[in-house]
Chain A
């Protein structure tokens, strides 16, 4: 991680943790403004932070992780494109991908701590192989969503990222299903309560899956692009996109 990104994380993490799902715009917006976070992507000459998409990923991911109920990610992308434009739709999809990645990691962490504490049949739930296997599947999905988000951010920083953002949003959307299902399953009834924090994550995850393109939207977009390119071009094109980064 670069120093800027580490600094951003050190700034955003405790603040988002404190504000989390109980933040209100009226009371708390000034706190994120003080740190200059809404101007993250604006060049320094325009009074912004001069960040790139990988920097934005850090903030979006943490917003998802802490279920931050402030429209900070939305404000950040609004400095780059007008709502309703094609560009805005694409970066919106990236924003949701990053938030999904963060929220999945948080739900996984919550689930693992819970099964390590809760006892049934005289032992911790986490000691049951069936429970372990479900959580391992969840971990794989969370890993895939996180990796996809990083890949999309890197592509955005390189330039044309239509392929990568489409692929990443689609992959993250698919991870939501398994992640939310396993998280609720291992929590039993407590996870279904208003009092327990899991729903702040899972209700967002279910919503974000539809925002800026659902599975069928992105699979059609990607499928059409890949088919138009032709079978023999698929692999060379895929690898050329990263080779160009060198």
Chain B
């Protein structure tokens, strides 16, 4: 039984130049605070996103016709891993670049593509994901937000929750029940909802660190034209689960705590201690392995294979890793958690946000269920 077949990855020749370009951009933007650089893909900074767009580093694989740059999946991979390793504030455009843009290009009609995609590639249009609802988290097939047809239009009613970036986003791709009385996976469709449409209300949810990253979104008789239907009516479940492969496969799923690892290396250079040295070694080995695994998934996507199982494995291992780093650092190094010292400050911050790592994008238990299915157990 081999669950993860790895082939040699053909790294792009342009990689060194792309890395340099990203590093220069991040340096020039100047975010030095290590706490701000940890878990950076949740930190929205529209100005930085626009700069990336200007530099041609968003929508990298998309057709030129829609503002993209027709580069390879692995060139994009190189850019995003550089951004994350540098702790750049990529949160504003992250969802559009990673999943909403590709989804629109694959399934959207001409009107949807023209309206949204070029702006995403410029770093000016941001997206959010409308999957979760108050009673539909892990059990996503139980969504109840509804789309009712009224002449040429669709009328949306209901509520989404935990919507990351809904307050900065211009559009949401939402999974809703488009067939009244349908059950579970059947009768669901995806719609593109402009966040400024009348009847859409966004209410902030403040997280346990006091930050505002996710929201509740309410829909009250939101009227959408027929063209807002994404893909096929009734095929929403299939479309949304394919989207999750994109959501789970990226390097963001193991790099959230990278900044803390680097702070640990800095500390170890000044305070030699065999226990710290060994911890650095263990964490480095894991980072190296996860990078390979994550890049293999990108290489599979580039070959147009479906890496759903591999992506799930990488997310699960990656989440465990980024979750473990703050715990291990705290257990290994004596520190005063109230101090302003970089190591303590990043550890403290990551301990508080780390519960989210194995929730966002699918919980650990749900991922393990998917892996078990891949093993032929369900």
Binding site for B on A (CB under 8 A): 1, 54, 105-106, 108-109, 112, 115-116, 126-127, 129, 131-133, 135-137, 139-140, 142-144, 146-148, 150-151, 154, 163-164, 166-168, 170-171, 174, 215-216, 218-224, 226-227, 230-232, 234-236, 238-240, 242-243, 245-246
Contact = CB atoms under 8 A, between A and B. Distances in A.
A136 B277 CA distance: 31
B284 interface: yes
Nearest to A131: B377
Given A140-B317, A167-B288, A223 B278 contact: yes
Given A150-B6, A223-B279, A143 B284 contact: no
B97 interface: no
Given A136-B368, A167-B284, A171-B289, A146 B15 contact: no
A147 B291 CA distance: 10
Contact of A139 (B286, B296, B313): B313
A227 B11 contact: no
A246 B10 contact: yes
A226 B280 contact: yes
20 contacts: A105-B3, A115-B377, A132-B368, A132-B369, A132-B375, A143-B4, A143-B313, A147-B293, A150-B8, A151-B289, A164-B288, A171-B285, A171-B288, A219-B278, A219-B279, A219-B285, A220-B274, A227-B265, A231-B262, A239-B82
Contacts of B377: 112, 115-116, 126-127, 131-132, 135
Contacts of B98: none
Contacts, number: 187
Contacts of A174: 282
Interface of B: 1-4, 6-13, 15-16, 19, 78, 81-82, 85-86, 258, 261-263, 265-266, 268-269, 274, 276-282, 284-293, 295-296, 310, 313, 316-317, 365, 367-369, 371-372, 374-378
Given A112-B376, A148-B285, 20 more contacts: A108-B3, A126-B377, A136-B316, A139-B375, A143-B3, A143-B293, A143-B317, A150-B6, A151-B6, A170-B285, A171-B288, A174-B282, A220-B277, A224-B277, A226-B265, A231-B266, A235-B86, A236-B19, A240-B16, A245-B11
Contacts of A219: 277-282, 285
A220 B275 CA distance: 9
B1 A223 contact: no
B251 to A, nearest CB: 11
B285 A222 contact: yes
B289 A218 contact: no
B33 to A, nearest CB: 16
A174 B321 CA distance: 13
The 8 A-B pairs of least Cβ separation, nearest first, read A223-B281, A109-B1, A219-B281, A143-B4, A222-B281, A132-B372, A223-B277, A136-B371
Give the residue among B2, B7, B289, B310 with the most A Cβ atoms within 10 A: B289
Q: Which of A115, A167, A230 has the most CB of B within 10 A?
A: A167
B284 A222 contact: yes
A34 B279 CA distance: 46
Contacts of B11: 242-243, 245-246
Given A127-B377, A139-B313, A227-B268, A243 B16 contact: yes
Contact of B8 (A54, A108, A167, A234): A54
B123 to A, nearest CB: 24
B3 A226 contact: no
Contact of A170 (B1, B262, B281, B295): B281
Contacts of B1: 105-106, 108-109, 112, 142
Given A151-B292, A171-B285, A230 B3 contact: no
A166 B287 CA distance: 13
Nearest to A239: B19
Nearest to B293: A147
Contacts of B280: 219, 222-223, 226-227
B265 A140 contact: no
A116 B292 contact: no
Interface centre among B1, B9, B261, B286 (most CB of A within 10 A): B1
A179 to B, nearest CB: 12
